Structure 1
Amino acid sequence: MRTFFYKTFILLGLVIAINFNSVQAQTAKWDSTYRPAIFPKKVADFKAEPKSKTDIIFLGNSITAGTDWAKLLDLPQAKNRGISGDISFGVLERLQDVIDGKPSKIFILIGINDISRNIPDSVILSNYKKMITRIRKGSKKTKIYFNTLLPVNSAFEKFKNHYGKDEHILWLNDEIRKLSAKNVTIIDLYPNFTDKDQHLRAELTKDGLHLIPEGYKVWAELLKKGNYLK
């Protein structure tokens, strides 16, 4: 009987060890130091550009970088500060240059690449709050606008690391909406870009992640109708 219990204990220990190792293997790793290859050059280019207190800054990743905001909005003071592939840590790294210009407005859309890289939602949200705090401290008159994250569409089968993570988008969007309590203006892009299945509308994207001109027109209309640019 003692031998039986001893063997059972050994087997139970092996099962626990196997399950523990399995959980460790499934734990997603993430890296706050990732920067896209174009990051240094883009940051240098941005620093070299003249700055004005009338500037309206659009800050983010490739979704922000994908259009000419000045032309789209017929607003010469609109400046594109999007870097393809960027994450919230990258925005924090280059935020001071934006703050130093003391722009009139900053529109922020960032986070989908963080999600694709398994950066925890709580960390992304913490970075949003750091952005707000730093802008408030360094440029008190700058108005801050946060966009909710856009949906994605897995039917295009191109950016697989971004797909299947809708719960993260939804959670972050709920938290972004709460940032209005910090005297931040929230622009709720998400519901204006979803289809009946809560996916990015196929007619507004070329790959299930990025927008085509029709998508930017929807965005521009939201900005104009909401009087966010005045």
Structure 2
Amino acid sequence: MNGKRIGRWGLLAVICLSFSIGEAFAQKKDFANLTRYAKENSALSKTAKKEKRVVFMGNSITEGWVRTHPEFFKTNGYIIGRGISGQTSYQFLLRFREDVINLSPALVVINAGTNDVAENTQPYNEDYTFGNIVSMVELARANKIKVVLTSVLPAAAFKWRMEIKDVPQKIQALNARIETYAKVHKIPFVDYYNAMVADDNRTLNPQYTKDGVHPTGEGYDVMERLIKTAINKA
């Protein structure tokens, strides 16, 4: 009897220890990478009354944009690029307060969806991705931040996830849904897709990319003309 009790207590101790280790491990993880821009965010001064600060929220396409054409952001006074390579809309939504709301911008540009379709964090579900985008819009508006929505860029496939099929169709369907939502809610929508797609209406035009997903400087030139016009109108 005592042996059984000791065994049970030992098993319980092991279970409790495993939970403790698991929780400690989970606490060390930062799924949304909330601290990625912590230093830059804290360094930003409070917005002046006449300052019209713009935040660009996105993934590696946005992160690469700031790195490739930093003068575009500086010259236009946009200042803030908050792109993180590999992230999905789920992660954008989690860090939206840290990297957008708390910075008190006048406007946020949201480019989301590429890595959702690539299934970087979980299987693709258009309803969930679209819902994340809508939630970001609602959070922005609740905090009196104007929004510009953008299309997902063209892509025929993802080299890091070649098993993902029907990529162009998924991107087109999501873009159509975002555009419709933007029109209904009177939100500026920037269509990068049709300005940058190749003649096959599937791939990112080779003159704008080297890997089929990320723009080169020439690709960002196209995006800059479109987004600047939308921001000025907004």
Q: 1:161 to 1:49 in 2, by over 3 A?
A: farther
In 2, Cα distance between the equivalents of 1:222 and 1:216?
10
1:72 aligns with 2:87: no
1:47 positional shift = 3.0
2:135 counterpart SS class: helix
Contact 1:61/1:83, CA 8 A, preserved across alignment: yes
1:227 positional shift = 4.7
Contiguous gaps of at least 5 residues in structure 1: 1-32
Q: Which residue of 2 aligns with 1:95?
A: 96
**Aligned residue among 36, 39, 42 for 1:42:** 36
- Residues 2-57 of structure 1, C-alpha deviations (whole Å, 9 max, x = no match): xxxxxxxxxxxxxxxxxxxxxxxxxxxxxxx9947xx3541423432315252111
**Aligned residue among 183, 186, 189 for 2:189:** 186
In 1, Cα distance between the equivalents of 2:163 and 2:55?
28
In 2, Cα distance between the equivalents of 1:197 and 1:103?
38
1:72 counterpart SS class: helix
Contact 2:148/2:230, CA 8 A, preserved across alignment: no
- Residues 139-177 of structure 1, C-alpha deviations (whole Å, 9 max, x = no match): 21x2100001100144x9565256641111011101110
Q: 1:214 to 1:45 in 2, by over 3 A?
A: same
In 2, Cα distance between the equivalents of 1:70 and 1:209?
20
1:206 positional shift = 1.6
Contiguous gaps of at least 5 residues in structure 2: 1-28
Contact 2:190/2:230, CA 8 A, preserved across alignment: no
Q: Which residue of 1 aligns with 2:218?
A: 214
**Aligned residue among 119, 123, 127 for 1:122:** 127
Give the TM-score of the pair, scaled to structure 2.
Answer: 0.74
| Amino acid paired to 1:83 | I
Contact 1:159/1:208, CA 8 A, preserved across alignment: no
1:71 counterpart SS class: helix
1:66 counterpart SS class: helix
Give the TM-score of the pair, scaled to structure 1.
Answer: 0.75
Aligned length: 192
In 2, Cα distance between the equivalents of 1:159 and 1:115?
10
Could you say what the CA RMSD is over the residues aligned between the two structures, in angstroms?
2.4
